[in-house]
Amino acid sequence: MLNHMVKSSSDECLSAVFSALSDTTRRAVLTRLAARPRTVTELARPFDMSLPGVSKHLRVLQDAGLIHKERDGRLHRCCSDVATLETANDWLAQFARCREGSFDALERYLTRDDETDDH
């Protein structure tokens, strides 16, 4: 029962992460945050949208655990949360390993055919 609950929570987290990453603006925000923490105003600058519009994107990223905000007086700084991205990357990596295993199996099969053709 506990394992099922943990899995369900993990699935929900991954769904929130991939949903947040599905938007080009949010991916651009994360790219900007990869270099260093930035204020909301700094993050909004390159986008042709209102500050409240950018704030909505930041809320989605924050709810997905991809960023967190720190308050410094009147300034709100946003920082990326690398651990959440690593979790999503780990999930995707299992498919890469599967694909690599398929290619390895294909290579073994093709190599075996080459060896039997020589005899």
| In the chain, domain spans | 2-118
Instruction: Outline where the chain has alpha helix (H).
Output: 2-21, 24-35, 40-44, 51-63, 82-118
Token pair 């655990």 in the structure block, residue = 65
Confidence category of residue 8, pLDDT binned at 50, 70, 90: low
At 53-94, the pLDDT tens digits run: 999 999 999 999 999 999 988 888 999 998 898 888 888 888
Confidence category of residue 4, pLDDT binned at 50, 70, 90: very low
CATH class in words for 2-118 = mainly alpha
Token pair for 55:
């704030």
Confidence category of residue 106, pLDDT binned at 50, 70, 90: low
